[in-house]
Amino acid sequence: MRDFSNDHSALALNTATLGHNVDGHGAGWSPERVIDACAARGFGAITYWRREIGDRAVDIGERTRAAGLSVSGLCRTPFLVGPLAPPTRAAVIDDFKASIDMTADLEATCLTIVVGGVIEGSHSLTESLKAVADIVAEMASRAQQGNVKLALEPLNPVYGGNRSCLVTVRDAVDLCDAIDNPAVTIAVDVYHVWWDLSLATELKRAGSARIAGYHLCDWLADTTDVLLDRGMMGDGVADLKAIREAVEGAGYSGFCEVEIFSANDWWKRDPGEVLDTCVERFRTVC
């Protein structure tokens, strides 16, 4: 396992940690200001949200690399199925294509897919996952052409109803197997997998080529909101070292990306303090 105690070049910032994924939250720093603040602290990469990028993908990608950082990812595709997805399949495909093109223009490592909840009226995870596989398979060749990895992110089962019918790494690896395209991979997020004792086994089954991202935060024992009350690493109950051992045991050697949705705590703090804390916790508890 890598030793980060004196080297945090593998540390990436997901800008959701500064509240940039939700309107009306966070300090509202520009991408340029985030880039400079991350570069000054020795971060290795940044993952952006589409709402920050607009029509400036090429420019922001170049600006990030000029500061010595990589673009570790882009969040995210539309929900593909379920109650929060766009109203028609055609609308889903159009927005999915736009997100792939933005990822290619940014030259980001991967595009996160949050698949959406159970199809309304279906009462069926299986049927919903089949519809997901169908859409992702259709998009895989476009992703390949743009040199984009699609990263299926299984979410914590608490989101099964509305945000993600994909709730385990096991099912994510099964989806990769079913689609069988090298552009289709998975992302592993502590918030979503910390409870899963089959994690190491399933990640070995995935193999290093199919793990495109590793996301850090913590699960607070007394969490007040399952969407917007994630913990800073070290403040919760997740076994962060064991989870990273499972991820790296499967051959992953990429960035470790801090992604903390925290409306009432970290998003209210000065972004400089948040970034400093990320570095300190990454070196000591991750």
Binding site for Zn ion (CB under 5 A): 189, 215, 259
Compute the least distance from the CB of residue 217 to Zn ion, in Å: 8
Compute the least distance from the CB of residue 247 to Zn ion, in Å: 13
Compute the least distance from the CB of residue 14 to Zn ion, in Å: 7
Distances (CA, A) of 152 to 15, 170, 207: 19, 12, 14
Q: DSSP assignment of 240-265, as one string? A: HHHHHHHHHHTT--S-EEE---BTTT
Residue nearer to Zn ion on the CB measure, 235 or 259: 259
Q: What are the residues whose beta carbons fall under 8 Å from the beta carbon of 43, sequence distance 6 or more? A: 8, 11, 12, 13, 69, 275, 279
What count of residues does the chain have?
A: 286
Compute the least distance from the CB of residue 153 to Zn ion, in Å: 5
Compute the least distance from the CB of residue 244 to Zn ion, in Å: 15
Residue nearer to Zn ion on the CB measure, 100 or 188: 188
Contact 26, 20 (CB under 8 A): yes
Q: What are the residues whose beta carbons fall under 8 Å from the beta carbon of 63, sequence distance 6 or more? A: 31, 32, 35
**CA distance between the termini of the chain:** 11
Compute the least distance from the CB of residue 259 to Zn ion, in Å: 5
Residue nearer to Zn ion on the CB measure, 85 or 114: 114
Residue nearer to Zn ion on the CB measure, 67 or 158: 158
Residue nearer to Zn ion on the CB measure, 96 or 214: 214
Residue nearer to Zn ion on the CB measure, 189 or 218: 189
Contact 75, 48 (CB under 8 A): yes
Compute the least distance from the CB of residue 189 to Zn ion, in Å: 3
Distances (CA, A) of 20 to 27, 60, 157: 8, 15, 24
List of E strands, the chain: 11-14, 45-49, 70-75, 110-113, 149-152, 184-189, 211-216, 256-258
Residue nearer to Zn ion on the CB measure, 215 or 281: 215
DSSP state of 227: T
